[in-house]
Amino acid sequence: MATVGQLMTRHLSTIPENATIKQAATYMHTEHIGSLLVKNGEEFSGIITETDVVRAVAEEEDVLGISVAQVMSKPILSVEKKMSPHYARDLMADKRIRHLAVTEDGKIVGVISARDLLAYFKTVSKEVS
C-alpha cells in the first residue's frame, strides 16, 4: 500500500509573510499550484491556498494591499509521511481543507493535495475493477 510520502510533492513552494496576496496569486497561477507554504524568516508560519485568496477577495475592499500573513491559514495542518492516503483523505475531509503539509520527524518535507489523492485513488480503483 502507498504512503503519503510516496504521493506528496517534494518541492516546497514558499512565499514570505510580507508578500501581497497578488504576489501569492500570481505565483500560484504561474506555477499551476494551489498552495504556498508561508515563511517568517527560516520558519514556516502558515499556508496560503487558493481558497484563502478567494475568501480575501470576497471579504476585503482593498485586497491588493493585503499581506499573505493576514489571510494565511495557521497553524499548518500536517500528516506524517508514513501515513496512508486514506488517513490524509479523511483528515482533509474532517477539516474541510485541500492541502496538508507532510512531515518527517516533525519537519515539513512535502505537501499533499486533494488532487494528488484523487489521482492515487483513481489508479487504485482501476486496479480493482
Read off the pLDDT of residues 17-71 as tens digits, 9 standing for 90 and up: 999 999 999 999 999 999 999 999 999 999 999 999 999 989 877 787 899 999 9
* Residues contacting 65, CB < 8 A, separation 6+: 20
CATH 3.10.580.10 fits 4-128, yes or no: yes
Q: Is the pLDDT of residue 129 over 60?
A: no
Proportion of the chain above pLDDT 70, given as a percent: 98
State the pLDDT at residue 127: 65
| Cell matching residue 119 | 489521482
Planar angle of CA 16, 12, 122, nearest 5 degrees: 135
Q: Is this prediction's pTM over 0.75?
A: yes
Q: Is the peptide bond before 85 cis (omega within 30 degrees of 0)?
A: no
DSSP H or E segment with residue 103: strand 99-104
State the pLDDT at residue 123: 86
State the pLDDT at residue 128: 59
Q: Is the pLDDT of residue 16 over 90?
A: yes
CA–CA distances in Å: residue 96 to residues 14, 42, 47, 74, 126? 22, 28, 15, 14, 26
CA distance 11 to 85: 19
CA–CA distances in Å: residue 23 to residues 13, 46, 63, 78? 13, 16, 11, 24
